[in-house]
């Protein structure tokens, strides 16, 4: 014991116990196929018996690879982010990478701290759902030779590829569905205009109304942060209009959870008194009473494509670590689809 702790087992000790050279033991433990099965079994058995743990930091310095990929994400309230995170962890694990998950709660200061930490750890790649407030730091990450994939948001000036949802098209599908049922007073709850999804979903909402000869009504539109309390406050606000809406398109997924609670609190019957469409699927939406009509943004596809892009960028780096030509970042967009359930109906028709 040294300093009250166990002495670390060295590679020399493993090699001696297995009866092989240090270089042979190193090749076995690094996964090389250039050793016999007998030698491989002997080294692995010795390492397990002695409790040997490789020094990943030293190995990373030699190979210029950490086998770590940073995932910076704003929250895990959003069901799409849950799905995306699960897909990324599984897919990247299958390829030999571990995911360092960093949840920022949309705090730019915390996000900056996480980005600095990932840069210090020389991660092999970065996937980010960003706040848009740390573009300079993301540029530093990219300049250090770490590939970047922006997911669901592309702040101006951010380097790397982007994997985006079809937010504007999805919003148009939602509003066209409500218009087709005969609704004309349609309320909107959405994210802030400075974020891609907030901006694009409102644009789709407004475009669908304009195509039908209507315009968004200010007292029926609420745009704000991706939080549950905002959703509750927004519902209270739009439902307090002198001429209440007959339909609501909730385009801020996190706020939807607060909106649903507020509708229950107000005693608003869905869909008899208010038809409801929510953006982004959640596992329990089909089982809500009534089951909720949603715009499905293809969360699994978003996760798969983000994994594919970061792996492609990592593999294309010269010497797997030296800064290389990033090239023009690719923009990949996943289409949205409308899933019609029982939360929508024509206005004024008994349920």
Whether residue 276 is found in the same domain as residue 191: yes
User: Which pLDDT belongs to residue 6?
Assistant: 54
CA dist., res. 195 & res. 153, Å (int): 7
Q: Give a yes or no: residue 158 inside a domain.
A: yes
Q: Give a yes or no: residue 332 inside a domain.
A: no
Whether residue 192 is found in the same domain as residue 241: yes
CA dist., res. 87 & res. 124, Å (int): 18
Whether residue 42 is found in the same domain as residue 138: no
Pairing assessment for the beta strands 275-279 and 247-250 based on DSSP bridges: parallel
Whether residue 119 is found in the same domain as residue 157: yes
Whether residue 99 is found in the same domain as residue 130: yes
Counting Cβ atoms within 10 Å, is residue 262 exposed (0-12), middle (13-18) or buried (19+)?
A: buried
Whether residue 129 is found in the same domain as residue 191: no
Q: Give a yes or no: residue 288 inside a domain.
A: yes
Each of the 351 residues of the chain gets a pLDDT tens digit; together they read 334 445 678 888 888 999 988 888 877 876 666 788 888 899 889 888 888 776 655 555 444 678 999 999 999 999 999 999 999 999 999 998 999 999 999 999 999 999 999 999 899 999 999 999 999 999 999 999 999 999 999 888 889 999 999 999 999 999 999 999 999 999 999 999 999 999 999 999 999 999 999 999 999 999 999 999 999 999 999 999 999 999 999 999 999 999 999 999 999 999 999 999 999 999 999 999 999 999 999 999 999 999 999 999 998 876 544 444 444 588 999 999 999 999 999 998 654
Whether 158 contacts 130, CB under 8 Å: yes
Q: Count H helices, E strands: the chain?
A: 12, 12
User: Which pLDDT belongs to residue 61?
Assistant: 45
Whether residue 87 is found in the same domain as residue 127: yes
* Last-in-domain residue among 257, 281, 296: 296
Distance separating the N- and C-terminal Cα atoms of the chain: 75
Give the phi and the psi of residue 60 in degrees, each rounded to 5: -65, -35
Whether residue 208 is found in the same domain as residue 97: no
The CATH number linked to 233 is 3.40.50.2300
CA dist., res. 314 & res. 122, Å (int): 13
Whether 45 contacts 18, CB under 8 Å: yes
Whether residue 158 is found in the same domain as residue 305: yes
Whether residue 155 is found in the same domain as residue 172: no
Number of domains composing the chain: 3
Q: Which domain holds residue 124?
A: 66-165+299-320
Q: Give a yes or no: residue 351 inside a domain.
A: no
Strand order in the sheet with 331-334: 98-103, 68-73, 125-128, 148-151, 161-165, 331-334
Cis-peptide into 147, omega within 30 deg: no
The string over 274-312, giving b where at least 16 C-beta atoms fall within 10 Å of a residue's C-beta and e elsewhere, is bbbbbbbbbeebeebebebbbbbbbbebbbbbbbebbbe
Left (φ > 0), alpha (ψ -120 to 50) or beta: where does 71 sit?
beta
Whether 151 contacts 102, CB under 8 Å: no
Q: What is the pLDDT of residues 44-91, one digit of tens each?
A: 898 888 887 766 555 554 446 789 999 999 999 999 999 999 999 999
């Amino acid at each position: 014991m040294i300093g009250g702790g166990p002495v670390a087992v060295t590679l020399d000790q493993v090699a001696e116990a297995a009866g092989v050279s240090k270089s042979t033991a190193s090749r076995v433990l690094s996964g090389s196929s250039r050793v016999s099965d007998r030698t491989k079994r002997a080294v692995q058995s010795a390492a397990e018996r002695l409790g040997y743990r490789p020094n990943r930091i030293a190995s990373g310095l030699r190979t210029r690879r950490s086998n770590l990929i940073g995932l910076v994400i704003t929250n895990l309230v959003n069901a799409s982010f849950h799905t995306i995170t699960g897909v990324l962890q599984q897919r990247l694990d299958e390829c030999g990478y571990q995911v360092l998950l960093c949840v920022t709660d949309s705090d730019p200061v915390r996000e900056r701290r996480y980005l600095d930490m990932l840069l210090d750890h020389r991660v092999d790649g970065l996937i980010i759902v960003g706040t848009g407030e740390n573009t300079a730091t993301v540029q530093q990450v990219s300049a250090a030779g770490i590939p970047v994939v922006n997911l669901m948001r592309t702040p101006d000036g951010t380097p790397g590829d982007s994997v985006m949802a079809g937010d504007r098209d999805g919003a148009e599908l939602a509003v066209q569905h409500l218009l087709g049922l005969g609704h004309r007073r349609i309320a909107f709850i959405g994210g802030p205009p400075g974020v891609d999804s907030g901006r694009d979903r409102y644009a789709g909402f407004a475009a669908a109304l304009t195509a039908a000869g209507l315009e968004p009504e200010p007292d029926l539109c609420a745009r704000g942060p991706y939080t549950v309390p905002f959703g509750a406050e927004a519902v209270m606000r739009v439902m307090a209009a002198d001429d209440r809406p007959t339909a609501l398109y909730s385009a801020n997924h996190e706020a939807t959870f607060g909106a649903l609670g507020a509708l229950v609190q107000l005693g608003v019957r869905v869909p008899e008194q208010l038809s409801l469409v929510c953006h982004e699927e959640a596992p329990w939406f089909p089982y809500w009473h009534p089951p909720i009509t949603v715009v499905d943004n293809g969360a699994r596809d978003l996760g798969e494509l983000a994994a594919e892009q970061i792996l492609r960028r990592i593999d294309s780096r010269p010497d797997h670590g030296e800064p290389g030509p990033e090239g023009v970042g690719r923009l990949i967009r996943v289409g949205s689809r409308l899933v019609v359930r029982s939360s929508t109906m024509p206005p004024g028709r008994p349920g």
